[in-house]
Amino acid sequence: MRGARTSVPRAVKSSPALVSLGLVIALAAGCRSRSEAPTAEPAASGVAASTSASASAAPTDAPHRVGVRVREGNALARSAGDDALFLADEDHHVLRRIPHDPEVPAAALPLPGAPAQVLVLDDRILVTVRDPGLLLILRYAPATGFVELARVPLPDDAWGVAVTPDESLALVTSAWTHQVSAVDLATAKKRWSIDVPREPRAVVIREDGAGAYVTHLVGPDLTRVFDLDKPTPRSAPLVLAAAPHRAPPGRVLDASLAYSAVLVDAGERLLVPRHALGAIGANVWYGSPTVDVMLTKDDSALAPPHDEAALAQSLGDVSAAYRSSGESRFADPIEAGPEQEIAQPRAAVYLRTRASILIAPEGRDRLFELDALALDPVRSRRAAIALGGGCSAPTGLAVSADESTAYVFCRGSYTLATVHLHEGDSKTPRLESARIVEDALPEAAALGRRIFYDAADTAFSGGLACSGCHPEGRDDGHTYYEANVGAGTNNFLGLPENADGTSPNDGGYARQTPMLAGRVGAQGPYGWHAQDKDLFYRLRAGVELHRWQGNTGGLSYDYRPKLNALMAFVRTGLVPPPRTRRELTAAEAQGKAIFESPETRCASCHVPATEYTDRTAYPLAAMPTLKGFQEEKARDFKTPSLLSVGGTAPYFHDGSVATLEQVIDFNHDRMGKTNQLTKGERVALVAFLRTL
């Protein structure tokens, strides 16, 4: 059953049941022994060991760069001795230690809040905690179990973590509060926090220590941070075009879902897996997954600027691949282009020995291996490995020290998939899958979560699942085009160019993605026009919109139990972002009084008792239709909830206003009455809105 080729001599012993992993779903004959793992980390910095991980894919039995250090956090990480995995278990609020040896018991450390990432150093373990925002510094030893060394308070929603090559400094992103902070690891004290754009997530520190790159879940730019060692660092937006060669002519694409970034090729390239909104390909209404490549020597994009001939070639490739599959044009939009399968890229790691990257996409139960040195890595796929065991929503990814084994944490099924990359053939390597723990959610909501993430459920998703536009129940900041794509059906498009060229398309109505977490408790109505009487009908309408050409019949079976499960998940499983837990400041209190005053009338529509909305659609004085969108006759839009409104820019149904300050300044008595407000009163009103 085992493939003949393994990269490390293994001490084989027969393995009893995987007691430490609980219920074993599928288990191939194990070969688990601590002696098989290289235990010694190199004394020098891991950077030196990676110097020649260059161009040609090294044979798999090349000398191992044993223990090359991982410097970026992930939901899943291997222990320093490579004898166990650590899992930042966001739903159970614990840090788990899952030993490879089934005879060693698993350990779980309760945490003060939901963890996001774990990063293992030689003698310490760093864990980010979302709410309250913290960096925990821990140690684990078999004799003592987990020992907490320090707890560093950080801006709320602490998420991504990375360390400098000398491991003296950790950088942490705080997603909702859009900050990047530095923690001195010698003193366990915060050095600084700086403000960055919306939803910073992955942070990667250069191999030369000269600054860091931060990705954002919303928008196409990265953030470059300079002068990490100074008391006040600098930061600047860094333009990295999303899938430039797949952009329609003349367009610069919006992007989303940049949860991860990896340095490859001895730090010469930064790879950013994400979603390119509106990228074109065969039958993609929403755009395309992409891995954008940046050269770190001058922070320039590897892909050349958009070129029509190259684009025609690239589209030719897609349709050729599609034609050769022998399917009709609309038969299976998900399988249309090879890159579409990498739906909602989430975790990524670099395999130095193979010069490839592994990507676990949240929307599929597969692990992808891509050529890390390709111009367009998503088109240079080496393997797509089915993860089995009912894997749903892959979230965490780690590899063994010798890079022979990949571990994937599937959050939707609470399973751990162990992929022996060198055993079996490269497309179907040997695989084990084991349940880690029972889901934290009740059964219906747990099923709802699997649907929420699953881009391959053809009834509920047309290739991009709910979490592709509402990541973690938040929003992608994008304004979609609700377009008539023929046969009387309206569908969402990332850009008008995503429409099938034969169908009438005059742009489409502007539909900005709303945030869901904490905002879907009410009976209804839902939708920007308050067109759906309750959540059930909104979800049913939604699944017809997020695809090609209406629902292709997927909902013809009894969909009710699944829709109910989805409702249970969006109402009870989505976690609202951290909220201000302090008394209002004087300015915020003044803003509250203004908001509630009969003069401004804000609270008459944005009713505080009901999520700051009266759920009624009003025909506010028309604003001009945005360029490129279709003029809409129905001018009435539902009062949106203002809960968490400080973090959901841009604003209005068409995303036409970039900031809350501008919402007030450009209002001109359109909503309520604001012309009379002084500059100071406007500042106070906005300060109050940010506390909601």
**Binding stretches for ligand HEC (CB under 6 A):** 286, 460, 464, 466, 468-470, 480, 492, 511, 513-514, 516, 519-520, 526-528, 535, 538-539, 542-543, 546, 566, 570, 595, 600-602, 604-606, 618, 620, 637, 639-640, 642, 645, 648, 651-653, 660, 663, 671-672, 674, 685, 689
Picking from 391, 378, 495, 369, the residue whose alpha carbon sits closest to that of residue 436 is 391
Query: Alpha helices of 299-408 — where are they, by DSSP H?
Result: 308-324
* Gyration radius of the chain's alpha carbons: 25
Q: Is 478 exposed, middle or buried (0-12, 13-18, 19+ CB in 10 A)?
A: buried
Structure tokens at 231: 């008391």
Q: 535-545 and 560-568 helices cross at what angle (nearest 10)?
A: 110
Distance CA 596, CA 573 (A): 31
Least distance (Å) between residue 673 CB and ligand HEC: 7
Residue 332 vs 636, nearer CB to ligand HEC: 636
Residue 213 vs 595, nearer CB to ligand HEC: 595
549 C-beta neighbours (distance < 10 Å), count: 18
Least distance (Å) between residue 150 CB and ligand HEC: 38
Least distance (Å) between residue 454 CB and ligand HEC: 9
Residue 414 vs 480, nearer CB to ligand HEC: 480
Torsional class of 45: left (φ above 0), alpha (ψ -120 to 50), beta (otherwise): beta
Residue 346 vs 422, nearer CB to ligand HEC: 346
* Cβ atoms of 148 and 134 closer than 8 Å: no
- Strand 345-351 with 366-371, pairing: unpaired
Estimate to the nearest angstrom the gap between the alpha carbon of 565 and the chain centroid: 22
Least distance (Å) between residue 448 CB and ligand HEC: 8
Residue 196 vs 684, nearer CB to ligand HEC: 684
- Strand 356-361 with 107-110, pairing: unpaired
Residue partners of 59: CB distance under 8 A and separation at least 6: none
Picking from 199, 117, 244, the residue whose alpha carbon sits closest to that of residue 476 is 199
Residue 115 vs 473, nearer CB to ligand HEC: 473
Nearest-10 Cα torsion for 96, 99, 100, 102: -110
Residue 350 vs 652, nearer CB to ligand HEC: 652
Q: Tell me, what amino acid is at 630?
A: Q
- Strand 222-226 with 415-424, pairing: unpaired
Q: Is 232 exposed, middle or buried (0-12, 13-18, 19+ CB in 10 A)?
A: exposed
Least distance (Å) between residue 608 CB and ligand HEC: 12
Residue 200 vs 573, nearer CB to ligand HEC: 573
Residue 160 vs 577, nearer CB to ligand HEC: 577
Least distance (Å) between residue 538 CB and ligand HEC: 5
Least distance (Å) between residue 576 CB and ligand HEC: 14
Distance CA 158, CA 422 (A): 36
Picking from 472, 612, 521, the residue whose alpha carbon sits closest to that of residue 176 is 472
Residue 380 vs 572, nearer CB to ligand HEC: 572
Least distance (Å) between residue 624 CB and ligand HEC: 12
Torsional class of 488: left (φ above 0), alpha (ψ -120 to 50), beta (otherwise): left
Residue 226 vs 618, nearer CB to ligand HEC: 618
Least distance (Å) between residue 640 CB and ligand HEC: 4
Query: Alpha helices of 514-658 — where are they, by DSSP H?
Result: 535-545, 560-568, 586-596, 602-605
Residue 271 vs 535, nearer CB to ligand HEC: 535
Least distance (Å) between residue 289 CB and ligand HEC: 14
Least distance (Å) between residue 303 CB and ligand HEC: 25
Least distance (Å) between residue 438 CB and ligand HEC: 24
- Residue 54 Cα distances to 39, 42, 375, angstroms: 25, 20, 15
Residue 144 vs 676, nearer CB to ligand HEC: 676
Distance CA 197, CA 219 (A): 9
Residue 3 vs 248, nearer CB to ligand HEC: 248
Taking the CA atoms of 265, 269, 275 and 279 in sequence, report the sign of the dihedral they define: negative
Picking from 447, 431, 391, the residue whose alpha carbon sits closest to that of residue 414 is 391
Whole-angstrom distance between the N-terminal and C-terminal Cα of the chain?
Answer: 58
Least distance (Å) between residue 690 CB and ligand HEC: 10
Least distance (Å) between residue 514 CB and ligand HEC: 5
Distance CA 244, CA 252 (A): 7
